[in-house]
A and B are shown apart, each in its own frame.
Chain A
Amino acid sequence: MTSQTLQKVDHAALKANQLFIISLSILAFILNQPWLAAFVALVMGLGSALKVPGFLPIYKNVLKPRGWMKPDVLDDNPEPHRFSQILGFVFMTAGSISLFVGATVLGWSLVWLVVALASLNAFGGFCVGCAVYYWLTRFNLPGFNKQPPAGTFPGMKPKARVSA
């Protein structure tokens, strides 16, 4: 494994983002509101463009200051998490478009896929999008050049701070 510089990544912010994606997507399904799914896709898209978790402002301005969520800062690569959000954005956008054109089964299936993957990350600590990113790194694809933090299984939440 090559040496690499890791950055501070607040996993609590990532978790808050996932929890909002899960909650709003399930609400969109129950209320049968494709626009709500589209809103989630839009927030994820904006987050991807700005290279931050889409619902970061809520974490930063509401959840963290009130102590409802505590920062969980680890040395990690932010790139796989960004890639993961882009993947979620693509699936959510495809789902929303499907819903608006009347392909409801496909649309809601894609929305639930995003819910399932976000849940796996939020509750199980495994980021499928990150695992895909690290898998693509092995093929030397342009833009994919990060290795998992030392001692961490690709996609799993790092267990420890690696650098001093």
Chain B
Amino acid sequence: MSDDFLLRFGLAIAIIVVGMLGYWLINQRLLVRARNNIFTLFSKLPNKPVIVYFTTPDCAPCKTLQRPALNQVSRLLGERLEVVEIDATERPDLAKKWGVMSVPTTFLLDARGEARYVNNGVARAEKLMEQLQTL
């Protein structure tokens, strides 16, 4: 009984890990797309970390969670960070090129314009800060 439970538990963990690996691979693909399309946003790189934030006017979690988190990060970092907000309904071409599947989606680019992180769904201020510190 105990061995069976452990085996099943291990199997469940293994399946979940495989699923997460698949998700990670999809995110890596999104980062490659972002790297290839960086000049669809900038003609000249701003030489500082950038958060590219895809949203829509009627996205409730964008207003209640993602926007306040971005405001908090912007307040903390001031001029050392640039936040580019893109309304996916006004710029569906950009959303498509960057492979945005849902909103909110945030891409974090380093000072050289390399896309380093992508967050599908709400990314809290703490998470954004952690990611920004590694850029």
Contact = CB atoms under 8 A, between A and B. Distances in A.
B88 interface: yes
Contact of A160 (B12, B56, B61): B56
Contacts of A64: none
A119 B22 CA distance: 12
B92 A151 contact: yes
B16 to A, nearest CB: 8
A160 B89 CA distance: 7
B9 interface: yes
A26 interface: yes
A1 to B, nearest CB: 14
Interface string B33-60: 0000000000000000000000011111
B124 to A, nearest CB: 14
A157 interface: yes
Interface in B79-103: 88-89, 92, 95, 101-103
A32 B59 contact: no
Given A26-B12, A157-B102, A124 B120 contact: yes
Contacts of A89: none
Interface in A107-138: 112, 116, 119, 123-126
Contacts of A30: 5, 8-9, 12
Contacts of A119: 19
Interface magnitude class on chain A: 20 to 34
B4 interface: yes
Interface string A151-164: 10000110111000
Contacts of A116: 19
Contact of B57 (A125, A126, A157, A161): A161
A125 B58 contact: no
Nearest to A124: B101
Nearest to B10: A30
A49 interface: no
A124 B27 CA distance: 11
A108 to B, nearest CB: 9
Contact of B8 (A32, A124, A151, A160): A32
B58 A161 contact: yes
Contact of B89 (A72, A73, A151, A156): A151
Interface string B58-70: 1111001100000
Interface of A: 26, 29-32, 70-75, 112, 116, 119, 123-126, 151, 156-157, 159-161
Given A30-B12, A73-B60, A156-B101, 6 more contacts: A112-B15, A119-B19, A123-B121, A124-B23, A160-B57, A160-B89
